[in-house]
Structure 1
Amino acid sequence: MRGPGYIHLHVHSAFSLLEGALQLETILKLAAADAQPAIGIADTGNLFGALEFSEKATKKGIQPLIGVELPFDFAAAEERVSERGHVAWTGKSSVVLMAQSEEGFANLSGLVSRAYLEGEDGLARVKLDWLSREGLAGVICLSGGPEGAIDMAFAQGQDANAIRRLDRLAELFDDRLYIELQRHGRPQEAVVEPRLIDYAYRKGIPLVAANEPFFKTAKEFEAHDALLAIAGGTVLAQTERRKLNDQYYFKTRAEMIELFADLPEALDSTIEIAQRIAFRPRTRGPILPKFAAGSHDTEDAVVAAEALALREMAETGLNARLATTGIAPGKTEAEYRERLAFELSIIEKMKFPGYFLIVADFIQWSKAHGIPVGPGRGSGAGSLVAYATTITDLDPLRYNLLFERFLNPERVSMPDFDIDFCQDRREEVIDYVQKKYGAEQVAQIITFGTLQARAVLRDVGRVLQMPYGQVDRICKLVPANPADPWSIERTMKEVPQFKQMADEDETVGQLVEIAQALEGLFRHASTHAAGIVIGDRPLQKLLPLYRDPRSEMPVTQYNLKWVEPAGLVKFDFLGLKTLTTIRYAVEMVANRGINLDIDAIPIEDAATYKLYARGDTYGIFQFESAGMRRALMELKPDRIEDLIAMNALYRPGPMDNIPSFINRKHGTEEVSYPHPALSTVLDETYGIIVYQEQVMQIAQLLSGYSLGEADMLRRAMGKKIKAEMDAQRVRFREGSGPQGVSETLADEIFDLLAKFANYGFNKSHAAAYAWVSYQTAYLKEHFPHEFYAASMTLDMAQTDKLSDFRREAGKKGIEVVPPCVNRSEVVFSVKEDRIHYGLSAVKGVGRAMAEHIVEVRGNEPFKDLGDFARRVDPRVLNKRTLETLVNAGAFDGLVPRREVAFAAVESVIGTAQALTSERNEGQWNMFASAEPEPFRLPSGVPAWSSTERADRELAAIGFHLSAHPLDAYADLFEKLRVQRWSDFERAVKDGAGAGRLAGTISGRNDRRTRKGTPMMILSLSDQSGTFECIAFSEQINEFGAILQPGNSVILEVGADERAEGISLRLVSAKPIEGMAERVDRQMTVFMADAKALEPTSAQLKRGGNGTVSFVVIRDGGAREYELELPGKYQLTAEVAGGIKALDGVMDVRFA
């Protein structure tokens, strides 16, 4: 064939979300294989891939043609003139727009942005009244194809509407309008094509042939059909759904030439359009707002003004830092001045003063407004300029941190400060930035969720209408590892059972085949968790924008990888929960009249290091895992450098060096160095390479690299590119020779550096986070009440964490008391050396309701339930939530018997509603008695047993707080030598391998071992904490019936101490109630009134091994008389709970 013959203009990539099944790389491979000189993408409603496609196509020598299939809202304009009395159905209502020039791309980008920013429900839609000839200059229009606005109108017999639409497009685009023809063998194409050709010939508008591929080859149609069903929430068996056919594949030029042999002019138009397009999106250098004050005409003037502003800020800031915190040990003021001058010279040379000023500005604003900011994150903590301008709070000379690790003069790239903010107030900082630079100049960054193995298997299973249980079993065979997600291909190779199911079951095989074809495609767009871009002009002029329906803030249409090449600079605004925890704790400490400056606490506090040394680091940032706690107990850190090193070492790879690090610290292993000259670099870490910065310093010291060159060496080692590594090895040898290092030793050190460069940690980051950790540990050691209350507030949604914090607090003698409408605050609080449970932490009680209760309570506690009913707003409360509060114990102070308060809930709501109604209707009687009508509690309410009370509290709070089902068996456990979990945990650490425990089962997870035999993981609790126990097939067969959630059991267990914690395996199990009935027990019932004797006796059941005594107490507290009942009785927790709930009974005790 002569010339290209045909060029694709309407290809859908994977950025046509849940519609296109062609990755950009696949499109370009197909084009290259067919020697196509140009190719055009037109994704549905977006330009997500415009820059990426432009760059990748150009590198392959293919001309990129950038378009978009954009819905036009023709129907809204036609409602007044719709045919046959109804509004025309418009299908996708799309046309294809292509950027012909730079002006055209700007117009196209602006139109797509407006379609999202002013659209509804996150859908892009263009209103016709937005359009003008001027606003569409440089844009080529294709009429849209079978699913477009024109073809659909013709197909529906609405020729007048179709012609009106074409006329409107002709007015707008003039000679840049083309009538698009597609031939996929669909019935409507044969109906519509003659009408399109007729209109084109009558109006003199050119025809253009199009393929509109969505997938690679015809055999992938089935998978693509499943993708459309996933997108539409339908199933493949449904007939009334969007469905294409197998001809929507990527056709070759020859196939298209043959298909349109009768209309060569339509083929020629594809080439004409490609020739008319003289633009592609290109990368840009970084664009930042001009920060320095004043008006400056040239870029050089702006850079000079910003450089001067930064220099003045840094020098003033350094003076303030040195006056406040002093000079680091072993350093001189001259070293600080020299370092500052060096850094400023590099920053100015690279033209980054403006970046530093922008970051310093919003951080300084945050600190001035009381918003906690992290001391640093990542390599930015290595900059003295950042420290001087308060961007960071870590002295890099004090910790020997390197500026070149952050900003390398040998490699021009944007600096990247990742900033941690208090998570509750992060949005305030972003709001400030929007107001300062203009909302139209600030945006979030888009991200794309993909169809990963498990998710796509579930989606395809649904559209195939396979049984849920079967699909669930298949999905669970794909290992779940977020850090290293498994693909379906890998699962087929490495999980034999998965492959066997696919091979043996035809439906499962179909499921796997389709899912594998769709795996990795984009599923949805969302926003980057932290990334914000700031421009020097409205961002629509730099790139297209998107709007996430869940946010009012604009979002870039290019993702994180491509937003910076587009010229935008990313700033990371991260929310760090630990900073919020610290803030809450400091605020609570202030309630005691102590003004604690958490940033000025002593770094040599011995008590804080002892906390680390005893492994008391649950809840301590970065140091709370079981394995880390054990390592700390062996290390016994006594300086901040130890914490920095452990933070860096406790990771896969480096943790292999932890034993040597510990032994060398304690002198039980000799400290050695790869070369004596390296002692100055490695002395701090006992001769072990721990940090990336040490790799750089060794290269500098031993081989004469500059620190910038050493950073390039570190990067090369990390990438493991052989040619680059070989060249660096030669350079390293040559540089080491003058230092008296042999080639053999140089190679050994080079290989050692390469190993550590690969997994060594960034010391700047480790140091910053070690300081945050130290702050939390300081609070825990010196202000434990406030630390636990703050920690529990931040983990209110995690019941397990709350239970653990409560247990930890209990070990320190700190009581966590149940929620109370008269004492609790919205969140956890400290009063009278006790932690009060937060009302909003009760399950199902929203923050709004908790805030309402606290607000109406004010400084006047509720007197009784009636007072509560009269003061609350019934619109905020509901029956279920009030019942939950009763079950949690929040009304115990008003009504001691929870069952009575529970029965009164409807009356409370009724009273509140009646009073509100009277107030609203103006029926409030000002002459009524000042004393409200008494609120009457219901009588004759059956008592809850202690078990029911505990179960209800468990459901409301998530763990047993005021009482535990095992409380009634303390005497039994003493007789049977049952250990508390906390005591047994310590015993195992001291070498015990077996024991007897009691626990209430809260969960049971039935699984199978790799061999396919049954196994079970039980979740249990006692008064001292929660634990898990594994049962295998033999124990399941024998004891499975009693191992049910809610049951309390006595367990014989075996135990092993492992890296992740203590592992328990079940040996035997017995129900507690059965054991209680067989053991001799003495129950004493204390009464305030002898009238309780008769109802108490009625609760007792004869036939057990227990004896019962009644003690009647006088008003003054003395015993009036004591009576021992004859006979033996069945004494269980159920019986004791029923008796304790009776009127006149004060307490029930076992002995």
Structure 2
Amino acid sequence: MYLNCKTYFSYRYGTFTPKQLVEAAVEIGATSLALTNINNTSDIWDFVALCNAANIKPIAGVEIRNEDMLCYVLIARNNLGLENINRFLSQHLISKEAFPLRPSFSDDVIIIYPFDKGFFSNLVPNEYIGVQITDINRLLCIDYKKYVQHLLVRHPVTFQNKTYYNLHRLLRAIDKNIILSKQIDTHKAAPHESFLSFSVLMDYFQQYPQILSNTFQLLDTCSIEMTFHLDKNKKYYTASKEDDKELLRKLAYDGLHYRYGTRNKTASERVEKELKIIDDLNFNAYFLINWDLLKYAKSRGFYYVGRGSGANSIIAYCLQITDVDPIELDLYFERFLNPYRKSPPDFDLDFSWADRDEMIDYIFKRYGRDHVALLGMFSTFQFKASIRELGKVFGLPTTEIEKLLVGDYNKADKNHLQIYQYAKLMNDFPNHLSIHPGGMLISEHPIYQYTAIDLPPKGFHTAQIDMFVAEEIGLYKFDILSQRGLGHIKDTIQMVKANKGIDIDIHNIEQFKKDKQVAANIRTGNTTGCFYIESPSMRQLLKKLRCDDYKTLVAASSIIRPGVGQSGMMQTYIYRFHHPDKFEHIHPKMGEILQDTFGVMVYQEDVIKVAHHFAGLDMAEADVLRRHMSGKTRGNEQMITLQKKFFSNCKERGYPDHIAAEVWRQMESFSGYSFCKAHSASFAVESYQSLYLKTYFPVEFMVAVINNFGGFYSRELYFQQLRKIGATVSAPSVNYSEYLTSILDDIVYVGFVHIQNLEKKIADIIITERQQGGIYLHLQDFIERTNIGMEQLNILIKVGALSFTGKTKKELLWEGNFLRKATTSITVGKSLFVEKPMSFSLPQLPQTPLEDRLQEMDILRFPQANAFEMVEADLSKYPLAKDIPALKGKEITCLAYLVCTKDTATKKDRRRMHFGTFIDAAGDWMDTVHFPNSAAMFPFKGRGFYEFSGIVTEEFGVFTIAVNTMKKVGIKKLN
């Protein structure tokens, strides 16, 4: 009967959740149910599990549409039918071709056409016509007896009731980006598309028993069998499990000798232990595939970092998947893989943002497109976004919508009330398929057995299932991630090799850990540009901890996370770090469990330790709790059960209620924001690599940071840092600049990419012509060889790119515009004969440094020299950052240039406050705190110079100015 049911995975169309659809089917007494979402099979696995639990026969299918036109419904007669449907669907979603109006399938797929298509002739055995209750009278218009064997009851189910029908209409209007009054019938479903009971449908078709009989018979022939939690990944890297086992053993021992030498008994014993567990749990191929990916990356010169819980494995360390020594940090392998762990492990493999796409492409080609897909995820409607979309559908002006977003609405306004009502109903509805940040699936059998494939804008085949479904059905993801920090490292290494002829072994982590100058830079917070440790809060934390060793940096990488920081445990950790004998643990057992971290939960493993050793949950339950608290599961029923058991066990063990509640609060604060220790260690390794490069090759390192367009701060700050370390930074030059910032003869030339409104094709012409014909001799030579237009020429002159001519910008602007107008025919390229340029007699046209700075701010968005040359103030009367420690407790007035701000709220009453980060005239940091009263009275007003007064405070060696008053200071005016 119910051959055409949809959930909200029919994006912006259906209104049932999968669970609601099955519950509604149970309520009306359905014994079988077909899920046929529009052009996708995203929730088919959830649907099957729900139906099995409800004792309803699940049937898999899809509704095929070309935009608003319903073409047909496809029903899988069996698992092969579902695979074929997924293949068919994927083929057209990937190619973006319209679906055929009359497809061809084997008997494993049933095709049901809508009645109004009129496909009544030449129907093959697996083709049917679906008859809705609205089509019954139209049966009188056909030769019923001739076609009766091909007629079925097709009653679409799209929404629950009248309220949800209205929501459906709104979703359709959102999809069409129209106001509701512009909606037409073809945009939306018919009003009758909600569940009707079996008896009601029987009444409708009482005169056509053969149609009912056909429908029942078809339902009987359909079945779908889906196995959950059974490994569906690529089984072998080689030809067999035994070959995988032997290869992994060989690679592990080769790596063991490289990492530890030949006489490390502890390491050898751990290798043997891990190899046995990996083999017992059938993860040999998983390790070897990761090893294979990184072998390819090395062959291409790609730098990478392996991180996450995989760094708990000595095998991963020996295979150089990670650079974290698990013995050094006492990381236990069972956190990554153990016989009791129900969830699959995974490695996080980070590549440079510039290399990641090639790595993804390699995986597709290495393991085959029929077996590989990027993991999907679902963008969902959230309340504010829903308010905005519904406001547009109701035709409200933008100003009125903005008021609704902050809760300012008219309770007597029907539109306002409806917008809030339906925004709540559609909260968390899937909006569209998106791409998981890095997950990839590699299956043993064709991927179409499990999911259809789509092609989002990224350009790679993407599964229509998310990580939760993949995990449930036994597909374990490979995480292929990217970050710009690795681009910094890779580019620095290449520039050092090119400029200085030095080869750097960036994996020589032990040398970096022992380097005294590197340690000094960590301790003083001299970490600008370095991955994960350059932000103001991290820089301050390093100084507070006087961090100059690896293990402290590992802890710092985790306690800076919001879960630890916002719960107050970061401050507790810092205090206890400095005063290990001046505190009491919340309970002696907590001190025993968390001895290494001063009784503070810092890592995800600490949640497992506390749940198991303090509250008596078994290790499997403790790991599940950890996953819930780190946001790696969905649903909260299991979490509620574990929470009850936690408190029940605590009571049985005699812990006071307030102690149990506080321990739970500390655990809960980790939700979504904690690191496992191995993850922190991986970040710390990369931080050391960045720090080493910054310490010994600072110019190349900072240029690499600039060229990767990624860091905590704006590019202006990184150019300022170059000047601060003594580098000569030149304006963009048509004779020496590349598209990206480059180093030539120890001079840093700003890249053309930083020039606002300069067309890339013009930059390419300048560079190509220079490479082919040599440097430009003068302005006329440049114009003739590039045929540059006046607008683009003026930009280059104003930014100083033709300063090699020795003429002022004003002279060049005058001459350049004259030459462009005077020249009627220009041949691009260098002339065969060197000709003297035209000469001009011009009055003196001086250019002041202030004019240069202002033009640079306009064209580059940052000045080429010290920004403080522009400020309208006497700098000599303001203290610098280096003077502040001697002024502790005093009120001072400073002048500084704003770098960035951080907004937050007070814990007690959630009042708005800020932290500010500035640089002074010497280029050194100044940090400020703006409490609510000050923040309200003296707000920030964008980038620029600020004069502020406040009290100098100190905490564990870090000095901050608590600002009382502040004003923005202007820049000098041109005479």
TM-score range, shorter chain: 0.7 to 0.9
Residue pair 2:343, 2:471 contacting (<8 A) in 1 also: no
Q: How does 1:88-107 map to 2 (within 5 A)?
A: 92-107=69-84
Q: In the superposition, relative to structure 1, how do residues 310 and 1049 fare at CA in structure 2: closer, same or farther (>3 Å)? A: closer
Q: In the superposition, relative to structure 1, how do residues 412 and 306 fare at CA in structure 2: closer, same or farther (>3 Å)? A: farther
Task: State the Cα distance separating 1:461 from its structure 2 match.
Answer: 1.7
Q: Which whole-Å CA distance do the structure 1 matches of 2:464 and 2:871 have between them? A: 63
User: In the alignment, what sits opposite 2:718?
Assistant: 805
- Paired amino acid for 1:1134: L
Q: Which whole-Å CA distance do the structure 2 matches of 1:819 and 1:688 have between them? A: 51
Residue pair 1:1035, 1:1068 contacting (<8 A) in 2 also: no
Residue pair 1:440, 1:539 contacting (<8 A) in 2 also: yes
Which shifted more, 195-204 or 517-526? Answer: 195-204
The answer to whether structure 1 residue 125 and structure 2 residue 102 are counterparts is no
Q: How does 1:399-478 map to 2 (within 5 A)?
A: 399-475=329-405, 477=406
Report Cα offsets for 1:575-599 as digits up to 9, x if no partner.
Answer: 1211111111222222223222222
Residue pair 1:1056, 1:1062 contacting (<8 A) in 2 also: yes
Q: Which whole-Å CA distance do the structure 1 matches of 2:580 and 2:935 have between them? A: 45
Equivalent in 140, 143, 155 of residue 211 of structure 1: 155
Task: State the Cα distance separating 1:380 from its structure 2 match.
Answer: 0.3
Equivalent in 671, 677, 681 of residue 763 of structure 1: 677
The answer to whether structure 1 residue 344 and structure 2 residue 275 are counterparts is yes
The answer to whether structure 1 residue 9 and structure 2 residue 3 are counterparts is yes
User: In the alignment, what sits opposite 1:178?
Assistant: 128
Q: How does 1:397-796 map to 2 (within 5 A)?
A: 397-475=327-405, 477=406, 498=407, 500-551=408-459, 553-590=460-497, 591-600=499-508, 601-655=511-565, 656-667=568-579, 669-670=581-582, 684-686=596-598, 688-693=600-605, 744=654, 758=668, 759=670, 761-795=675-709
User: In the alignment, what sits opposite 1:30?
Assistant: 24
Q: In the superposition, relative to structure 1, how do residues 643 and 894 fare at CA in structure 2: closer, same or farther (>3 Å)? A: same
Residue pair 1:350, 1:412 contacting (<8 A) in 2 also: no
User: In the alignment, what sits opposite 1:334?
Assistant: 265
Report Cα offsets for 1:638-666 as digits up to 9, x if no partner.
Answer: 32111111112223453434445444444
Task: State the Cα distance separating 1:340 from its structure 2 match.
Answer: 0.8
Equivalent in 957, 978, 996 of residue 860 of structure 2: 957
Q: Which whole-Å CA distance do the structure 1 matches of 2:113 and 2:556 have between them? A: 64
User: In the alignment, what sits opposite 1:884?
Assistant: 795
Q: Which whole-Å CA distance do the structure 2 matches of 1:676 and 1:467 have between them? A: 61
User: In the alignment, what sits opposite 1:357?
Assistant: 288
Residue pair 2:778, 2:837 contacting (<8 A) in 1 also: no
Q: Which whole-Å CA distance do the structure 2 matches of 1:1000 and 1:775 have between them? A: 29
- Paired amino acid for 1:455: A
User: In the alignment, what sits opposite 1:297?
Assistant: none
Q: In the superposition, relative to structure 1, how do residues 398 and 373 fare at CA in structure 2: closer, same or farther (>3 Å)? A: same
User: In the alignment, what sits opposite 2:730?
Assistant: 817
Q: In the superposition, relative to structure 1, how do residues 896 and 320 fare at CA in structure 2: closer, same or farther (>3 Å)? A: same
Q: Which whole-Å CA distance do the structure 1 matches of 2:848 and 2:804 have between them? A: 19
**Structure 2 gap segments, 5+ residues each:** 631-635, 904-908
Report Cα offsets for 1:854-898 as digits up to 9, x if no partner.
Answer: 3432393322222223433x5xx6655444333332223336433
User: In the alignment, what sits opposite 1:871?
Assistant: 785
- Paired amino acid for 2:99: R
Structure number with larger C-alpha Rg: 1
Q: Which whole-Å CA distance do the structure 2 matches of 1:215 and 1:1058 have between them? A: 61
Q: In the superposition, relative to structure 1, how do residues 101 and 617 fare at CA in structure 2: closer, same or farther (>3 Å)? A: same
Residue pair 2:311, 2:317 contacting (<8 A) in 1 also: yes
Q: Percent identity?
A: 25
Helix, strand or coil for the counterpart of 2:547?
coil
User: In the alignment, what sits opposite 1:1081?
Assistant: none
Q: Which whole-Å CA distance do the structure 2 matches of 1:890 and 1:102 have between them? A: 66
User: In the alignment, what sits opposite 1:198?
Assistant: 142
Helix, strand or coil for the counterpart of 2:512?
coil
Report Cα offsets for 1:823-882 as digits up to 9, x if no partner.
Answer: 32322233455533222122344666545433432393322222223433x5xx665544
Size of the aligned set, in residue pairs, is: 947
Q: Which whole-Å CA distance do the structure 2 matches of 1:1068 and 1:472 have between them? A: 29
Task: State the Cα distance separating 1:992 from its structure 2 match.
Answer: 4.9
Q: In the superposition, relative to structure 1, how do residues 998 and 704 fare at CA in structure 2: closer, same or farther (>3 Å)? A: closer
Helix, strand or coil for the counterpart of 1:48?
coil
Helix, strand or coil for the counterpart of 1:857?
helix
Equivalent in 223, 240, 253 of residue 315 of structure 1: 253
Residue pair 2:484, 2:708 contacting (<8 A) in 1 also: yes
Residue pair 2:120, 2:147 contacting (<8 A) in 1 also: no
Q: Which whole-Å CA distance do the structure 1 matches of 2:851 and 2:580 have between them? A: 57
Helix, strand or coil for the counterpart of 1:501?
coil
The answer to whether structure 1 residue 289 and structure 2 residue 234 are counterparts is yes
User: In the alignment, what sits opposite 2:121?
Assistant: 167
Residue pair 2:913, 2:935 contacting (<8 A) in 1 also: no
Task: State the Cα distance separating 1:14 from its structure 2 match.
Answer: 1.3
Report Cα offsets for 1:609-642 as digits up to 9, x if no partner.
Answer: 2222222233332222323322222211232111
Q: Which whole-Å CA distance do the structure 1 matches of 2:639 and 2:82 have between them? A: 38
User: In the alignment, what sits opposite 2:754?
Assistant: 841
Report Cα offsets for 1:417-447 as digits up to 9, x if no partner.
Answer: 1111122112222232223222332221222
Residue pair 1:321, 1:388 contacting (<8 A) in 2 also: yes
Task: State the Cα distance separating 1:92 from its structure 2 match.
Answer: 0.9
Helix, strand or coil for the counterpart of 1:954?
helix
Helix, strand or coil for the counterpart of 2:781?
helix
Helix, strand or coil for the counterpart of 2:539?
helix
Say what the alpha-carbon RMSD is for the aligned residues. Answer: 4.6
Q: Which whole-Å CA distance do the structure 2 matches of 1:1001 and 1:750 have between them? A: 43
Q: Which whole-Å CA distance do the structure 2 matches of 1:856 and 1:817 have between them? A: 21
Residue pair 2:170, 2:390 contacting (<8 A) in 1 also: yes
Q: In the superposition, relative to structure 1, how do residues 450 and 906 fare at CA in structure 2: closer, same or farther (>3 Å)? A: farther
Helix, strand or coil for the counterpart of 1:603?
helix
**Structure 1 gap segments, 5+ residues each:** 1-6, 73-89, 146-150, 152-161, 295-301, 327-331, 478-497, 735-742, 1006-1010, 1074-1132, 1136-1151
Residue pair 2:323, 2:685 contacting (<8 A) in 1 also: no
Residue pair 1:613, 1:636 contacting (<8 A) in 2 also: yes
User: In the alignment, what sits opposite 1:45?
Assistant: 39
Report Cα offsets for 1:438-472 as digits up to 9, x if no partner.
Answer: 23322212222112222222222222221112213
Task: State the Cα distance separating 1:403 from its structure 2 match.
Answer: 0.4
Residue pair 2:934, 2:965 contacting (<8 A) in 1 also: no
Task: State the Cα distance separating 1:765 from its structure 2 match.
Answer: 0.8
User: In the alignment, what sits opposite 1:1138?
Assistant: none
User: In the alignment, what sits opposite 1:1103?
Assistant: none
User: In the alignment, what sits opposite 1:1113?
Assistant: none
User: In the alignment, what sits opposite 1:973?
Assistant: 874
Residue pair 1:50, 1:281 contacting (<8 A) in 2 also: no
Equivalent in 51, 62, 77 of residue 57 of structure 1: 51
- Paired amino acid for 1:181: V
Residue pair 1:107, 1:139 contacting (<8 A) in 2 also: yes
Residue pair 2:484, 2:710 contacting (<8 A) in 1 also: no
Helix, strand or coil for the counterpart of 2:500?
coil
Task: State the Cα distance separating 1:404 from its structure 2 match.
Answer: 0.2
The answer to whether structure 1 residue 271 and structure 2 residue 216 are counterparts is yes
Residue pair 1:826, 1:851 contacting (<8 A) in 2 also: yes
User: In the alignment, what sits opposite 1:3?
Assistant: none
Q: Which whole-Å CA distance do the structure 2 matches of 1:602 and 1:1021 have between them? A: 29
